[in-house]
Amino acid sequence: MFGEIIICKFPFSSGADSKVRPALILFDLQQDALICRITSVPHFGLLDVSINQWQAAGLLKPSVARLDRIVTAEKTIFIRRLGTLAQQDLETVLNTWNCHMKL
């Protein structure tokens, strides 16, 4: 599932509400998944990954995967699958994660 892009009811950090938006699956946790927000609003932080092949991934606009906007979510909030990141974009996500998300 890593690298799949889905449409889901992505929860706000307050937990009070959600917004239907694209998300990137980072880890499959059986009934749940660790996902990050995808946005078409440009962001340029350390954990923001531009999706270069956004059209091939099923996105409508140039987009950014925000690795600092992650949640563990039940798969029941997934609405539909859009596509999968291209290999080059997958590698960029992996490299960014491994470089900046060390414990």
Percent residues over pLDDT 90 in the chain: 87
Among 69, 14, 77, which Cα is nearest to 38's? Answer: 69
pLDDT tens, position by position, 25-66: 999 999 999 999 999 999 999 999 999 999 999 999 999 999
Domain ranges of the chain: 4-100
Domain 4-100 part of CATH 1.10.10.10 = no
Residue 14, pLDDT score = 66
The residues with which 35 forms a beta bridge, in sequence order, are 25, 71
Burial of 69 (0-12, 13-18, 19+ CB in 10 A): middle
Residue 29, pLDDT score = 96
pTM equals: 0.93
Q: Give the residue-averaged pLDDT of 81-100.
A: 96
